Amino acid sequence: MGTLNLPRTVSVLGSTGSIGMSTLELFELAGVEVEIFALTAGRNAARLAEQALRWRPQVAVIEDEAALPELRERLQGSGIRTAAGAQAVTDVAAAEVQWVMSAIVGFAGLAPTLAAAKAGAIVALANKESLVCAGPSLLRTAKLAGGAVIPVDSEHSAIFQVLDPALAGQVSRLILTSSGGPFRDATHAQMAAATREQALAHPNFSMGAKISIDSATMMNKGLEVIEAAYLFAMPPERIEVLVHPQQIIHSLVEYADGSTLAQLGPPDMRPPIACAFAWPDRLPWPAPRLDLVTAGPLTFQHPDPQRFPSLSIAKQALARGGRAPAAMNAANERAVAAFLDRRIRFLDIPNVVAETLERMDRAATPAVLDNDPVESARNTDAEARRVADEVVIGLAAA
């Protein structure tokens, strides 16, 4: 090993979700020495307690306060402290540890992620919304505190690994790849009739419901375009998306001399987590290896803007700047929730997002000047959710 000093103090925010579980699995498989300060979860007290008894953190936090009695009962006599509530999650995120996995899904991850960055930790970022809603503030906060933000999304991890900071000015394009989701080959009519179950059936990964629907609409790629723009200081016109069903090439960087560098690997989230944990070193572990003979052929296609309008919606929000990305994210969360509740149709999801942004533009509400990026994003988030809910009600009644 080179610069990787162990043991390392860590916290895993969102430990019961797919990324959080993959993080702990990686620690197990790699046999790394970690001292876990905190594990946090949304509402799954049973899984959080099981993880806490295995990893012995100083504190286990459940965001859903109603689940605290169950967590305490399961951890009774263990000596592990417990707490509950959104503020408790943010409080443990602010603890002085060396490395934090930020894997809380949705807007709820913003405040804890900023708290970890402010504390000077290396933040392994799997929470898209933190960058989408407050990217410049998050990156500036981490830099000033002497920490860093290292992306965990496989696409941004790929770019992070092959983009030489010294040559950033010589980059022509960033190319993000996408599986295309369950509807990559579906017709517009088939997507219009898509059921909840069909939209949740991702062809490559087992993910949570919200992320699965974002993959089906390709809003996940729209969010990733915004993330890439902030992470790598790249204008939106130089960021492209290609559908790559095999998910072997995770992203590419094209330089001014015509060279295109790619990062390849099996579709598995543990390698980018390992990269974020060990960077700039590499972590030896029994990783799945890429067999190029059996992996091919590799195919690519441009996403259809008619079937997947979320990509253009996201680029437009990025170009508008200001509060537009945060508003787009909030509207999408409400639209996805409405679809999962079977209140709107699948193709209504991007329509809700676009209509919400248009209504907020027409309302011309003065921007709230607030030095607190969390509070500023929260104000925008609340307004966008209210407007999106109004749009959903209108569609449901039609």
CATH number of 43's domain: 3.40.50.720
219/69 Cα distance (integer angstroms): 37
- Over residues 253-282, the mean pLDDT reads 95
Check residue 5 and give its pLDDT.
73
Check residue 1 and give its pLDDT.
41
Same domain, 234 and 370: no
Is residue 246 assigned to a domain?
yes
Q: Above 90 in pLDDT, residue 372?
A: no
% of the chain at pLDDT higher than 70: 96
Dihedral in degrees, nearest 10, Cα atoms 97, 100, 105, 111: 40
- Over residues 43-50, the mean pLDDT reads 98
- Over residues 300-319, the mean pLDDT reads 95
Same domain, 27 and 101: yes
Same domain, 28 and 67: yes
Question: Per the structure, how many domains does the chain have?
Answer: 3
Check residue 366 and give its pLDDT.
52
Same domain, 105 and 184: no
Is residue 34 assigned to a domain?
yes
Is residue 280 assigned to a domain?
no
* Burial class for 268, CB neighbours closer than 10 Å (0-12, 13-18, 19+): middle
pLDDT band at 370 (very low <50, low <70, confident <90, very high): low
- Residue 172 one-letter amino acid: S
Same domain, 234 and 140: no
Check residue 369 and give its pLDDT.
44
Check residue 347 and give its pLDDT.
96
pLDDT top residue among 74 and 129: 74
Check residue 156 and give its pLDDT.
97
Same domain, 18 and 142: yes
95: left (phi over 0), alpha (psi -120 to 50) or beta: beta
**Which of the listed residues 280, 308, 336 is the one where a domain comes to its end?**
308
- Over residues 294-307, the mean pLDDT reads 93
Same domain, 159 and 296: yes
Structure tokens at 179: 């599986």
CATH number at residue 385: 1.10.1740.10
108/329 Cα distance (integer angstroms): 12
The DSSP bridge pattern shows strands 249-255 and 171-178 to be antiparallel
Strand partners, 61: 40, 83
Is residue 47 assigned to a domain?
yes
128/328 Cα distance (integer angstroms): 13
Give strand ranges (E) for 87-222: 99-102, 122-125, 148-151, 171-178
% of the chain at pLDDT higher than 90: 85
361/382 Cα distance (integer angstroms): 15
pLDDT top residue among 206 and 152: 152
Same domain, 212 and 251: yes
246: left (phi over 0), alpha (psi -120 to 50) or beta: alpha
Alpha carbon of 386 to those of 6, 110, 346, 362, 391: distances in Å? Answer: 47, 19, 20, 15, 9
342/356 Cα distance (integer angstroms): 19
Same domain, 301 and 350: no
- Over residues 369-390, the mean pLDDT reads 87
Alpha carbon of 380 to those of 132, 220, 236: distances in Å? Answer: 12, 20, 22
Q: Using one digit for the tens of pLDDT, what is the confidence trace for 139-187?
A: 999 999 999 999 999 999 999 999 988 898 999 999 999 999 999 999 9
Q: Tell me which residue range forms the domain holding 129.
A: 8-152
Check residue 3 and give its pLDDT.
58
397/138 Cα distance (integer angstroms): 40
- Residue 21 one-letter amino acid: M
Same domain, 133 and 165: no
- Quickly count: other Cβ atoms within 10 Å of residue 245's Cβ: 18
Q: Above 90 in pLDDT, residue 21?
A: yes
Strand partners, 90: none
Under DSSP, the state recorded for 242 is: E
Q: Above 80 in pLDDT, residue 244?
A: yes
Check residue 349 and give its pLDDT.
98
The chain-wide mean pLDDT, for the chain, equals: 93
Is residue 331 assigned to a domain?
yes
Check residue 304 and give its pLDDT.
95
337/366 Cα distance (integer angstroms): 28
Is residue 362 assigned to a domain?
yes
Largest CA distance in the chain: 63
Is residue 3 assigned to a domain?
no
Check residue 296 and give its pLDDT.
82
Check residue 105 and give its pLDDT.
86
| Residue 178 · residue 244 · CB < 8 Å | yes
Q: Above 60 in pLDDT, residue 230?
A: yes
Same domain, 148 and 71: yes
pLDDT top residue among 163 and 206: 163
Check residue 206 and give its pLDDT.
63
Q: Supply the DSSP string of 12-36, one letter for each residue.
A: EETTTSHHHHHHHHHHHHHT--EEE
Same domain, 74 and 165: no
Report pTM.
0.90
Q: Above 90 in pLDDT, residue 7?
A: no
Taking Cα atoms as reference points, which of 7, 11, 39 lies closest to residue 96? 11
pLDDT band at 6 (very low <50, low <70, confident <90, very high): confident
